[in-house]
Amino acid sequence: MSDETRMFADRQALCRQAAAELLEVLAAAVRDRGEASAVLTGGGTGTGILAAVADLLDAGGGGGDGPAGGLPVPDWSRVHLWWGDERFLPAGDPERNEVQARAALLDLLVDCHGLPAENIHPMPADGPAAVSVAGSAVGTAGPPATPPRLGAAADAYAAELLARAQAPRPAPDGAAVDARLPVFDVVMLGVGPDAHVASLFPGLPGPLAEGVTVVPVTDSPKPPARRLSLTVEALNTAERLWFVVAGADKAEAVAAVRHARDHGTTDAARWPASVVSGRAVTTWWLDEAAAGN
């Protein structure tokens, strides 16, 4: 199944249209399935989409689940929000993806649109004064040990996903879908200049993890070093997978990943983005700069 491409003049135009279509996807899932789940991404483009949703809801007159400028809006009481990755920092740290998402949109959804606070599923935060084993491992040979608190956080998120899992339903190709996870109607993923997605970075163990849905990351090249991430096998259960990518610094990675996907030369270790796809559709949301134009 070939990928779809949506091209936009700039990040703002990309975020506006992706926001409108995110609302449509969630509204359709609630209508068709009785609930909807979206997996959010950190980064400027992912957070920009959330802010654009807030703008649309404001344009639609805010309150309740009224139309946002004529767009369908889901019954937010039936929507669940998850993360594809998180920076493992103390709760409330402004660098956490969750904190940025709440400021961009989620606080508005809870305060004004009927999203239950318990439908927001952030990845666990670090303790306020966590002393990590990894800190003592810095500079020693071999990969840093996974700090017990970080490992436990990964396990806790996997358990929360399992608790909301749906009975395996047949995929279009007839294969059962992962019983450890909710149905993800849409997974949004930013893409790094090194072709990372979520916190699955080239050359690190994460992109190759098997048999688990969440992994700890101890040596992310993108600060902070300690993170949590859904795995490739978890991301690949998405009904729709949206790469949301803007900026000229991504052009080389986008070109390499799209070439690999088009020519069957995908490589999880080299280009983690090359091995994640939606079950129904994979869409590249690109601005002209990220497309190399």
Ligand X SMILES: O=C(O)[C@H](O)[C@@H](O)[C@H](O)[C@H](O)COP(=O)(O)O
Note the residues at the interface with ligand X (CB under 6 A): 41-46, 85, 87, 97, 190-192, 196-198, 222, 247
Closest contact distance (angstroms) between CB of 45 and ligand X is 4
Q: Measured from the CB atom, is 192 or 216 closer to ligand X? A: 192
Phi then psi for residue 162, to 5 deg, are -65, -40
Least distance from C-beta 115 to ligand X, angstroms? 21
Residue nearest to ligand X (CB): 190
Q: How far apart are CA 98 and CA 115, in angstroms?
A: 15
Lookup result for tokens 């439908």 = 119
Angle (deg, nearest 10), helices 44-59 and 11-33: 70
Instruction: Give the nearer residue to ligand X in terms of CB position, either 147 or 190.
Output: 190
Shortest Cβ 206–ligand X spacing (Å): 11
Nearer to ligand X, 22 or 198 (CB): 198
Toward ligand X, which CB reaches closer, 250 or 261? 250
Exposure string over 264-285, b if 16+ CB within 10 A, otherwise e: eebebebbbbbbbbbbebbbbb
| Shortest separation between residue 104's beta carbon and ligand X, angstroms | 13
In the complex with ligand X, the residue whose CB is nearer, 44 or 114, is 44
CB of 181 vs ligand X, minimal distance in Å:
18
